[in-house]
Copies of this chain bind each other. A is one copy, B any other.
Amino acid sequence: MLRPLPDALTDTLTVDYRVVPPAGVPVEAFADALLLEQTIETPRSVAARYPFVEAHLGGAVEAIALAGDGAYRVRLRLPTYTAASDPAQLLNVVFGNASLHAGVTLVGVDVPASVLVAGDYGPAHGADGLRRLCGAPARPLVASALKPAGLTAHELADVAYRLALGGCDVLKDDHYLASQPTAPLADRVVAVAGALDAAAQQTGRRTVYAPNVSGTPDVVLSNAEQAVALGADALLVAPMLVGLPTLHALRRFGVPILAHPAFAGASRVAPDVMIGQLFRLFGADAVIFAGHGGRFSVSLDEVRAIADAATRPMGPLRAALPTPAGGMTRERAAELVGVYGTDAMLLVGGSLLDAPDLTAAARDLVAAAEAATAALRP
């Protein structure tokens, strides 16, 4: 629970918007309107009646720069007083009403360390914690998905067993797996965790399991508690489906969190900000995103920006593990290691699941990741 900050009145956060002003509106006037929207949201004459508001809560337009194609980059400096009260308010101050302007895209956010610390933001385990949990191999982590939804708990456990024998570090539920009667959460966790234990007796290494938690917030939280009690090593959640503050709340269960991007693309937030920064800020230890060259039309520049945002210094926050997905294949392991280095997780679903022998396919993927890692060394 966040307590009022002593420095909430002097610290500021900055947001950067890419702005195309409405026709006929000068950018200076539009930037000022955005500032008003993200602060007092009343005429200045109303705020002027209240000395505390007038003195502390006005914020400022810090910079306006040309950004090409008739667009501008507008930087606002905003007081942290409102933002610091809870995680939903942080999001509100960053891009609440401003999001209602069609010409405005959130392209950057900088939250001061005072808010990050007081609000207990960021990954609780981080990339390093997740790697340690997997025995910290000197290569990218290798992950796959248990799917499709509609399989029974037993069928999912069978897939998990075969992929674990092949050496997968992490197995995550399909994001469609929730409480369907074919594989209710408790049955699924017990069956999969048991299968992973059995595989570990043969391989000597325990694969990490991240079941999906979904639903209304109380269901998400009780499912998470139950899953961890029954043997889940990590959790998968889609923050934009359940709400970013629910991601923040899941940190309490003591296991790493993988964040899935479902519904997150439907957004006028730059992907590196949404997935790299905001998912990390709200507590994701690994951030899953659509990789280049797969099913989704994304560029190498975009995925590099996401990986950079997930890992670059951000006050006291741990790095989150970049996890490209969505049509990654075994054959591309070397290329992916070339792009992301070894501090990443290669999430390969269909290409493994479609193989005649899942174990052999998983083994190939792990070997390819190892070979690509060895090739990186001077």
Q: Are A353 and B46 in contact (CB under 8 A)?
A: yes
Q: Are A245 and B248 in contact (CB under 8 A)?
A: no
Interface string of A208-225 (1 = CB under 8 A from B): 000000111111110000
Asked if A106 lies at the interface with its beta carbon under 8 angstroms from chain B, I say yes
Q: A148-B40, A217-B243, A248-B216 are in contact. Are A99 and B265 (CB under 8 A)?
A: yes
Question: Interface centre among A57, A85, A175, by most B CB within 10 Å?
Answer: A85
Copies of this protein in the assembly total 2
The residue on B at minimum CB distance from A179 is B85
Measured between alpha carbons, how far is A179 from B85 in the docked complex, in Å?
A: 6
Measured between alpha carbons, how far is A40 from B57 in the docked complex, in Å?
A: 49
Q: A42-B148, A150-B57 are in contact. Are A263 and B87 (CB under 8 A)?
A: no
Measured between alpha carbons, how far is A22 from B4 in the docked complex, in Å?
A: 48
Asked if A332 lies at the interface with its beta carbon under 8 angstroms from chain B, I say no
Within 8 A of B (CB), among A40-58: 40-43, 45-47, 50, 52-53, 56-57
Asked if A96 lies at the interface with its beta carbon under 8 angstroms from chain B, I say yes
For A151, what are the chain B residues with a Cβ–Cβ distance below 8 Å?
50, 52-53
The residue on B at minimum CB distance from A264 is B99
Q: Are A263 and B99 in contact (CB under 8 A)?
A: yes
For A33, what are the chain B residues with a Cβ–Cβ distance below 8 Å?
295
For A218, what are the chain B residues with a Cβ–Cβ distance below 8 Å?
217, 221, 249
> Which of the residues B42, B46, B148 comes within 8 Å of A57, measured between beta carbons?
B148
Measured between alpha carbons, how far is A263 from B267 in the docked complex, in Å?
A: 9
Asked if A92 lies at the interface with its beta carbon under 8 angstroms from chain B, I say yes
For A149, what are the chain B residues with a Cβ–Cβ distance below 8 Å?
40, 53, 57, 81-82
Within 8 A of B (CB), among A256-281: 261-269
The residue on B at minimum CB distance from A50 is B151
Asked if A88 lies at the interface with its beta carbon under 8 angstroms from chain B, I say yes
Q: Are A214 and B92 in contact (CB under 8 A)?
A: yes
Question: Interface centre among A56, A102, A103, by most B CB within 10 Å?
Answer: A102
Q: Are B243 and A350 in contact (CB under 8 A)?
A: no
Asked if A86 lies at the interface with its beta carbon under 8 angstroms from chain B, I say yes
Interface string of A228-252 (1 = CB under 8 A from B): 0000000000100111111011000
Asked if A308 lies at the interface with its beta carbon under 8 angstroms from chain B, I say no
For A175, what are the chain B residues with a Cβ–Cβ distance below 8 Å?
92, 96-97
For A261, what are the chain B residues with a Cβ–Cβ distance below 8 Å?
97, 100
Q: Are A85 and B214 in contact (CB under 8 A)?
A: yes
Measured between alpha carbons, how far is A262 from B298 in the docked complex, in Å?
A: 27
Q: Are A241 and B92 in contact (CB under 8 A)?
A: yes
Asked if A297 lies at the interface with its beta carbon under 8 angstroms from chain B, I say yes
For A245, what are the chain B residues with a Cβ–Cβ distance below 8 Å?
215-217, 220, 241-243, 246
Measured between alpha carbons, how far is A1 from B266 in the docked complex, in Å?
A: 27
Interface string of A129-154 (1 = CB under 8 A from B): 00000000000000000011111000
New contact pairs (9) apart from A89-B214, A218-B221, CB-CB < 8 Å: A4-B180, A57-B149, A57-B150, A86-B179, A99-B267, A217-B221, A217-B245, A246-B246, A266-B267
> Can you spell out 5 A-B residue pairs with CB atoms less than 8 angstroms apart?
A39-B148, A82-B176, A100-B290, A215-B245, A267-B267
Q: Which residues of A contact B (CB under 8 A)?
A: 1-2, 4, 22, 33, 37, 39-43, 45-47, 50, 52-53, 56-57, 81-82, 85-89, 91-93, 95-97, 99-103, 106, 147-151, 155, 174-176, 178-182, 214-221, 238, 241-246, 248-249, 261-269, 290, 295-297, 326, 349-350, 353-354
Which 7 pairs across A and B sit closest by C-beta, in order of nearness? Answer: A243-B243, A217-B217, A96-B262, A99-B266, A86-B215, A100-B265, A40-B148
